[in-house]
C-alpha cells in the first residue's frame, strides 16, 4: 500500500510481517528467473506458443496474447469437445467433409476424405464441367458424350447412342458383332452379315444371291424374271 509499484507491472504484491512478496500474474514470468521479482526484475509476458510445447495440441494454430494465448483449429479440423477450450487434452480432429455434407462434391461424384481436407472425383462416364477447376458443388460432374468425344468408340459399321454416364453401341443393318457374346466396341467390331450364306432362301428359288457390304443383291437365273419387275 505504501508503494503499489514495488513489484512492478503484471505482478501481485503480498504483504508479509516485516516484508512483502511479489508474484507474477498468470501468463507472466520473471524477466530473470534467478532473481527475486521486483521493480528491477519485472514480470514479462509468457509466449505460451513458443515456450510451452504443444500447448494447443495437434492440428491447431496458437496465437500469443498479453498474459495469455488463443488456440484455434486449422482449416479442415474441429475441436473434439466444442464446450471446452482447445488444448493438448482437447485437440483438433479431422472433419470428415464427405460424411458431414454428402453433397460437398455435387452429383455424379465420389468424395474421399483426407487429413484436414477432402478430394472429389467424377464417377465413370462423367467429367468436371470446367476441367481446369477442382470438382465441387460449384463445378459439378457432367455426363461425357462418348459418341461425340470419340466417334470411333464403337468401331466401324456401328451406331453410338449416348447414355447418362455411359453409352451404347449397336450394329448397323446388315452387320453383326464379331463375337455375339461380347459387347460391341472398338475391340469387338461389327462385321458384315453374309445373308446369302446365312439364309440360302433369302432370294427365293431360281435366283442368285450376291453378298454386299451391309446388304445383299438378288438376281434371277438366266431364263427367269421377277414376278413383279417394279419390286426388288
For the whole model, what pTM was predicted? 0.65
- Expressed in angstroms, the distance from the first to the final Cα of the chain is 125
**Contacts of residue 94, Cβ cutoff 8 Å, sequence gap at least 6:** 59, 76, 77, 113, 115, 116
At 114, is the secondary structure helix, strand, or coil?
strand
Query: According to the model, what pLDDT value does residue 4 have?
Result: 63
At 57, is the secondary structure helix, strand, or coil?
coil
Cα 141 to Cα 124: distance, rounded to the nearest angstrom: 10
**Contacts of residue 23, Cβ cutoff 8 Å, sequence gap at least 6:** 11, 12, 14, 37
At 150, is the secondary structure helix, strand, or coil?
coil
**Residue-wise pLDDT tens for the chain (232 aa)?**
556 689 999 999 999 898 999 999 999 999 999 999 999 999 999 999 999 889 999 999 999 999 999 999 999 999 999 999 999 999 999 999 999 877 899 999 999 999 999 999 999 999 999 999 999 999 999 999 999 987 789 999 999 999 999 999 999 999 999 999 999 999 999 999 998 887 768 888 989 989 989 899 989 988 888 878 777 6
Query: According to the model, what pLDDT value does residue 124 have?
Result: 95
Residue 90: closest CA among 44, 58, 138: 58
Query: According to the model, what pLDDT value does residue 232 have?
Result: 64
Query: According to the model, what pLDDT value does residue 2 have?
Result: 55
Amino acid at each position: 500500500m505504501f508503494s503499489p509499484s514495488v513489484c512492478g507491472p503484471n505482478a501481485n504484491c503480498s504483504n508479509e510481517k516485516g516484508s512483502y512478496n511479489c508474484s507474477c500474474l498468470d501468463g507472466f514470468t520473471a524477466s530473470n528467473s534467478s532473481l527475486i521479482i521486483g521493480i528491477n526484475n519485472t514480470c514479462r509476458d509468457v509466449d505460451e506458443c513458443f515456450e510451452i510445447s504443444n500447448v494447443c495440441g495437434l492440428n491447431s494454430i496458437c496465437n500469443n496474447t498479453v498474459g495469455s494465448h488463443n488456440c484455434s483449429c486449422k482449416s479442415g479440423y474441429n475441436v473434439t469437445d466444442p464446450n471446452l477450450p482447445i488444448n493438448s487434452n482437447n485437440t483438433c480432429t479431422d472433419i470428415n467433409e464427405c460424411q458431414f455434407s454428402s453433397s460437398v462434391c455435387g452429383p455424379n461424384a465420389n468424395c474421399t476424405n483426407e487429413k484436414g481436407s477432402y478430394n472429389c472425383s467424377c464417377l465413370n462416364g462423367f467429367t468436371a464441367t470446367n476441367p481446369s477447376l477442382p470438382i465441387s458443388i460449384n463445378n459439378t460432374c457432367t455426363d461425357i458424350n462418348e459418341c461425340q468425344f470419340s466417334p470411333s468408340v464403337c468401331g466401324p459399321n456401328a451406331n453410338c447412342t449416348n447414355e447418362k454416364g455411359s453409352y451404347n453401341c449397336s450394329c448397323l443393318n446388315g452387320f453383326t458383332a464379331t463375337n455375339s457374346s461380347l459387347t460391341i466396341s472398338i475391340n469387338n467390331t461389327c462385321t458384315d452379315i453374309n445373308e446369302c450364306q446365312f439364309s440360302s432362301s433369302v432370294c427365293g428359288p431360281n435366283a442368285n444371291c450376291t453378298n454386299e457390304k451391309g446388304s445383299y443383291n438378288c438376281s434371277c437365273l438366266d431364263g427367269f424374271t421377277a414376278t413383279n419387275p417394279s419390286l426388288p
